[in-house]
Amino acid sequence: MPRLPPAWRRVLAAALLAVSAIAAEAGESAVKTPQWQGAAFEGDRRALEQLAAAGAKVVRVYSESHAWVLDEARRLGLKVVMGLWVGHSRLGFRLDDPQAVRTQEQGIRDFVLRYRGHPALLAWGVGNEVELAQPDPMPAWREVDRLAGVVKALDPAHPTMMVVSDNSDDNLRRLAQCCANVDLLGINVYAGGVFEILPRLRAAGVSKPVVIAEFGPIGQWQAGRKPWGAPVEPTSSEKAAYFRDALAFLAAQPDVAGVFPFLWGAKQEQTETWHGLLLGDGSLTAMTDALSAAWGKPVTQPAPRVRGIGIAADEFAPGAEISAGVDAVSFDGSALRTEWKVLAESVGRRPDSDHEPPPARMAVRMLHADAATVRFIAPEQRGAYRLFITLRDGNGKAATANLPFLVR
């Protein structure tokens, strides 16, 4: 980005100083923590403990419903970018409803007054991608800026951050002239975009310090698709390689104040494994190994590595025999245990909701299943399905992959 103005340099320095203080408390050199290092989080107390044990110093949460994280973070030696949820028009929030606007502001005021002195608080995240599905992002962004001003007036000691999606270059240029009450620009960016976003922000004239507020491997909206439309998900090993390279790249960017891989927890979004760094039962993966290594705590017993997957065909007749396989290894050559299951393809989210219902599990007849191969009978009902493959080692680590197929 262009050389930061003095005011923004002070914000960035203060932010990094706060994280350096965490390192000093832990007896580490501040040089090891040049940025906010942690993850976007949605999980339970056990998952937060796992995040701290992996070497994270900061956790980003999205809304006031995660206020409990502040106390737990203090206990674990973490700092928190505390989310303040700002309503989305696509989810029914009306900026032209004065009562709704006042109620939202009052809730934010009350929350900031309650928690502004919390020792684990690092910064306020005011809103997340409020511009989604809006032809003109400015009304939503102006409201975020107004609310950030409210927060700053109540708590000048902690910086404010707005978070936007990796959007068009035209919208990035709008951000260059927007939101004076926002100290940090958080951006959610996926796949190769993470390697290109900083030059794009420079070209757009954005001068605020930048936080990579979410990032991860290729999203389902970007991935290649089967002929019937099912996106192809990378394996956990492919995702881990992405995080390794992206984290190394971002660590070398001096104007980046923080980096938050998405998502420390488990999340149903297109599949039950696409974005979660953990499995639903809390199992660690190759992705968490990659993060831990980047945070200065390389693991000695890494997760299983998936070298390849395959299915006999993409399309099958109802009741046909289907065969598939996986090539995977443990770090020490010990035996792996493989779980095979078939789920219906996700129907996605409703336009007015962020909740995605989990797809149904299909009670297919298994003919054979071992650690490397499976044979089963296709569902009788025509439609789109996925074969999910979960490999586990003897140390509690897991690897994942899935294969979409069509019954027609």
pLDDT at 26: 47
361 forms bridges with which residues in the sheet? 343
Q: Model-level pTM?
A: 0.92
pLDDT band of 241, cuts 50, 70, 90: very high
Q: Thinking of the domain 6-216, which architecture would CATH place it in?
A: Alpha-Beta Barrel (3.20)
Instruction: State residue 33's pLDDT score.
Output: 41
Q: Sorting pLDDT into bands at 50, 70 and 90, what band is 2?
A: very low
Same fold, 6-216 and 305-407: no
pLDDT above 80 for 190:
yes
The mean pLDDT of the chain is 93
Residue 167 — very low, low, confident or very high, per pLDDT cuts 50/70/90?
confident
- For residues 81 and 123, the answer to whether their CB atoms sit within 8 Å is yes
Residue 29's pLDDT is 41
Q: Would you state the pLDDT for residue 16?
A: 57
Record: fold of 305-407 = Immunoglobulin-like (2.60.40)
Over residues 13-49, the pLDDT tens digits come to 665 555 455 444 544 443 344 699 999 999 999 999 9
Task: Over range 328-336, report the average pLDDT.
Answer: 97
Domain boundaries, the chain: 6-216, 305-407
pLDDT tens, residue by residue, 92-133: 999 999 999 999 999 999 999 999 999 999 999 999 999 999
Q: Tell which residue, 22, 120, 124, 123, has the closest CA to residue 73.
A: 120
What pLDDT digit, counting tens, does each position of 352-383 carry? 788 899 999 999 999 999 999 999 999 999 99
